[in-house]
Structure 1
Amino acid sequence: MVSKVKRVLIGRPMKSAEIEGEKLSKLKALAVLSSDALSSVAYGTEQILIVLMAAGFAAVWYSIPISVAVLGLLLILILSYRQTIYSYPAGGGAYVVAKDNLGVSTGLLAGGSLLVDYILTVAVSSSAGTDAITSAFPSLHDHRVLIALIMIVFLTLMNLRGVTESASVLAIPIYLFVVAIFVLIISGVIKYLMGGAHAAIPELGSTVSNISLFLLLKAFSSGCSALTGVEAVSNAIPNFKQPSEKNAAATLVMMGVILGCMFTGISLLAYWYGIMPSEKETVVSQIANSVFGRGTIYYMIQGITALILFLAANTAYSAFPLLAYMLAKDKFMPRMFMARGDRLGFSNGIINLGVLSAILVIAFHGNTENLIPLYAVGVFIPFTLSQLGMMIRWIKLKPAGWVTKLIINTIGMLTTLTITMIFIITKFSHVWMVFIFLPIVILTFYQIHKHYENTACELRINLQDEKPETKSSTIIVPVAGVTRVVMHSLSYAKSLTDNVIAVYVGFDDEDIERMEKKWEEWNPGVRLIVLRSSYRSITRPLIKFIETVEWKTHETDHLTILIPQFITKHWWQNILHNQTSLMIRAILYARKDVVIATVPYHFQR
Structure 2
Amino acid sequence: MAQESVTQNTHTIVQNQEDEHSSGKNLLGPLLCWAVVFADIGTSVYYTPGILYQTVQGLAGFFVFLTMSVFILLALKYAEVTHRFPQGGGVVTVAAQAINPWFGALGGMFILVDYFLTAAISSLSGILYFSVVFPAIGGVTIPLFITIGVLILLGILNWVGISESAKVSLIGAIIAFVSDIAILVTVFTHLSLPEFFGLIGKMFTSHNLTPFSLLAGFAGSFLAFSGLESISQLSPVMKKPHKKVAGIALTLVVLTVGITSPLLTMLSTLLLPSAAQNATQSAQIISLLAGKWGGQVLQTEVAISASALLVFASNTAIIGAYHVFIALSRMGFLPEFILQRNKLRGTPHLSIALATGIPIAVLLLVWGNINILGDMYAFGLLGAFSLTCLGLDIVRLRDLKRARALKQAASTQRETQEKETHKAVEVHDLMKSNVQPATTAVDKHSNEMGGLGGQVNETYEATRLWFKINLGLGILTTVLVIVAWSTNLVTKPLATAFGGGVTVIGMGLAYYNHNRQQKEGRVPVPVVVTRLQGTYPKTTLAILTPHNPHNGAVIRAAINNASADTPLLFLYLAGKRPRPSAPRMMEIIDPYLDDQEAKDTFSKAEALAIKAKVPNRTYIYLQEEPELATQIWQSIHPRDTLVAIENDSQFKDINPDRVRYELTPEGKVAHLLKRW
Q: TM-score, normalised by structure 2?
A: 0.59
Instruction: Call closer, same or farther: CA 1:198–1:321 in 2, change over 3 Å.
Output: closer
Q: Per-residue CA shift, 1:52-71, capped at 9, x if unaligned?
A: 23xxxxxx2x4443222121
Structure 1 residue 41 corresponds to structure 2 residue 45 = yes
Give deviations 1:277-329, integer Å, cap 9, x for gaps: 12131321331121223x12211111211222222113313422332332222
State yes or no: 1:252 paired with 2:317. no
Q: What residue is the counterpart of 2:603 in the other structure? A: none
- Structure 2: distance between partners of 1:297 and 1:430: 35
Post-superposition shift, 1:137? 4.0
Structure 2 residue aligned with 1:143: 142
- Aligned equivalents of 2:22, 2:80: Cα separation in 1: 30
Q: Answer yes or no: is 1:316 the counterpart of 2:317.
A: yes
What code does the residue aligned with 2:358 have?
A: L
User: 78-87 or 278-287, which moves further after superposition?
Assistant: 278-287
Classify 1:210/1:259 alpha carbon distance in 2 versus 1 (closer, same or farther; 3 Å). closer
Q: Shift of the alpha carbon at 1:39? A: 0.1
Equivalent pair of 1:130/1:144 in contact (CA under 8 Å): yes
The correspondence of residues 343-354 of structure 1 with structure 2, limited to 5 A, is 348-354=350-356
Could you say which residue in structure 2 is the equivalent of 1:74?
71
- The CA deviation at 1:134 is 3.3
1:123 matched to 2:125? The reply is: no
Q: Deviations over 1:203-225 (max 9, x none)?
A: 25754475433223222222210
User: Highest Rg: 1 or 2?
Assistant: 1
Residues 193-272 of structure 1 aligned to structure 2 (within 5 Å): 193=192, 201=199, 203=201, 206-208=204-206, 210-243=208-241, 246-270=244-268
Partner amino acid, structure 2, of 1:145: L
Q: Secondary structure at the match of 1:312?
A: helix
Name the CA shift for 1:205/1:256 in 2 (closer, same or farther; >3 Å): closer
Q: What's the counterpart of residue 11 of structure 1? A: none
Q: CA offset at residue 86 of structure 1?
A: 1.8
Contact 1:317 1:350 in 2 (8 A): yes
220-229 or 74-83, larger mean C-alpha shift: 220-229
Q: Which residue of 2 aligns with 1:99?
A: 96
The 2-side partners of 1:414 and 1:69 are apart by: 16
Residues 73-82 or 430-439, more deviating: 430-439
Deviation of 1:346 after TM superposition, in Å, equals 5.1
Report if the CA contact (8 A) 1:78-1:230 is conserved.
yes
User: 1:332 touches 1:446 (CA, 8 Å); kept in 2?
Assistant: yes
Compare 200-209 and 147-156 and name the one that shifted more.
Answer: 200-209
Deviates more, 1:315-324 or 1:339-348: 339-348
Q: Aligned AA for 1:454?
A: K
Q: Does 1:50 align with 2:54?
A: yes
- Per the TM alignment, residue 374 of structure 1 is displaced from its structure 2 partner at its CA by 2.0
Aligned residue in 2 for 1:152: 151
Alpha carbons of structure 1 residues 261 and 161: separation in structure 2 relative to 1, 3 Å: farther
Q: Find 1:134's aligned residue among 131, 140, 160.
A: 131
Amino acid in structure 2 at the alignment position of 1:390? L
Query: Does 2:80 correspond to 1:83?
Result: yes
CA distance in 1 between counterparts of 2:27 and 2:337 reads 22
Q: Which residue is equivalent to 1:452?
A: 517
Aligned counterpart for 1:405 among listed residues 448, 457, 470: 470
TM-score, scaled to structure 1: 0.65
Does structure 2 retain, via aligned residues, the 8 Å contact 1:199–1:273?
A: no
Q: Which residue of 1 aligns with 2:403?
A: none
1:503-541 C-alpha deviation (Å, 9 max, x unpaired): xxxxxxxxxxxxxxxxxxxxxxxxxxxxxxxxxxxxxxx
Residue of structure 1 in register with 2:585 after alignment: none
Give me the whole-angstrom Cα distance separating, in 2, the residues matched to 1:78 and 1:147.
35
2:315 and 2:243 mapped to 1: Cα distance?
A: 21
Aligned to 2:297: 296
Deviates more, 1:96-105 or 1:66-75: 96-105
Q: CA deviation at 1:370?
A: 0.9
- The Cα of 1:163 is off from its aligned counterpart by 6.7
Question: Shift of residue 262 of structure 1?
Answer: 1.5
Look up the SS of the partner of 1:92 in the other structure.
Answer: coil
**1:493-512 deviations in Å (ceiling 9; x for gaps):** xxxxxxxxxxxxxxxxxxxx
Q: Unaligned stretches of 5+ in structure 2? A: 1-20, 401-461, 524-547, 553-676
Are the structure 2 counterparts of residues 236 and 340 from structure 1 closer, same or farther at C-alpha, using a change threshold of 3 Å? farther
The one-letter code of the counterpart of 1:422 is T
1:448 aligned counterpart, secondary structure: helix
**Structure 2 equivalent of residue 369 of structure 1:** 371
Residue 187 of structure 2 is aligned to residue 183 of structure 1: no
Give yes or no for contact 1:327–1:333 (8 Å, CA) kept in 2.
Answer: yes
| Counterpart code for 2:381 | V
Contact 2:116 2:318 in 1 (8 A): no
1:301-360 Cα shifts (integer Å, max 9, x gaps): 112112222221133134223323322221112335556777776554333211222222
Q: Is the 8 A contact 1:19 1:344 kept in 2?
A: no
CA-to-aligned-CA distance 1:398-436 (integer Å, 9 cap, x gap): 124432222222121111111112212112144323333
Note closer, same or farther for the CA distance 1:98–1:24 as it changes in structure 2 (3 Å cut).
same
**Do the aligned partners of 2:94 and 2:104 also contact (CA within 8 Å) in 1?**
yes
| Counterpart-to-counterpart distance in 2, 1:279 and 1:186 | 27
Kindly tell me: are residues 449 and 209 of structure 1, through their superposed partners in 2, closer, same or farther at Cα, counting changes over 3 Å?
Answer: closer
Report what 2:380 is aligned to.
Answer: 378
Kept in 2, the 8 Å contact 1:49–1:219? The answer is: no
Q: CA distance change for structure 1 residues 233 and 209 in 2, over 3 Å: closer, same or farther?
A: closer
Is the alpha carbon distance of 1:451 and 1:439 closer, same or farther for their aligned partners in structure 2, counting shifts above 3 Å?
Answer: same
Specify the alignment match of 1:387 in structure 2.
389
Alignment match of 2:111 (pick from 111, 114, 124): 114
2: distance between equivalents of 1:351 and 1:310? Answer: 17
Letter in 2 for 1:279: A
Aligned mates of 1:84, 1:18 — CA distance in 2: 18
Residues 568-589 of structure 1: per-residue CA shift (max 9 Å, x gap)? xxxxxxxxxxxxxxxxxxxxxx
Identify if the C-alpha distance between structure 1 residues 36 and 96 changes in structure 2 by more than 3 Å, giving closer, same or farther.
same
* Corresponding letter in the other structure for 2:474: N
Verify the 8 A CA contact 2:125 2:310 in the aligned structure 1: yes
Shift of 1:106: 2.4
Code of the residue aligned with 2:325 in structure 1: it is A
1:481-500 mapped onto 2 (5 Å cutoff): none
Identity of aligned residues (%): 21
- Secondary structure of the 1:231 match is helix
Contact 2:119-2:313 within 8 A present in 1 as well: yes
Partner Cα separation in structure 2 for residue 308 and residue 450 of structure 1:
43
* Counterpart for residue 526 of structure 1: none
Contact 1:337 1:349 in 2 (8 A): yes
Q: How many angstroms apart in 2 are the aligned matches of 1:242 and 1:202? A: 43
Is it true that 1:422 corresponds to 2:424 in the alignment? no
Match of 1:573 in 2: none
Distance 1:407 1:326 in 2: 32
Cα distance in 1 for partners of 2:330, 2:361 equals 27
Letter in 2 for 1:394: R
Q: Spell out the pairing of 1:395-544 with structure 2 (5 A cutoff).
A: 395-398=397-400, 399-400=462-463, 401-457=466-522
Q: Deviations over 1:173-206 (max 9, x none)?
A: 34322221111112212221389x8998572575
How much has 1:22 moved relative to structure 2? 6.6
How many residues align? The count is: 440
Give the C-alpha shift of residue 452 in structure 1.
3.0
CA contact (8 A) 1:331 1:449 kept: yes
Q: CA 1:155 to 1:256, structure 2 compared with 1: closer, same or farther past 3 Å?
A: farther
Q: What do residues 30-65 of structure 1 show as CA deviations (whole Å, max 9, x unaligned)?
A: 444442211001122333322223xxxxxx2x4443
Long gaps (5+) in structure 1: 1-16, 54-59, 467-605
**Distance in 2 between residues matched to 1:204 and 1:170, nearest whole Å:** 37
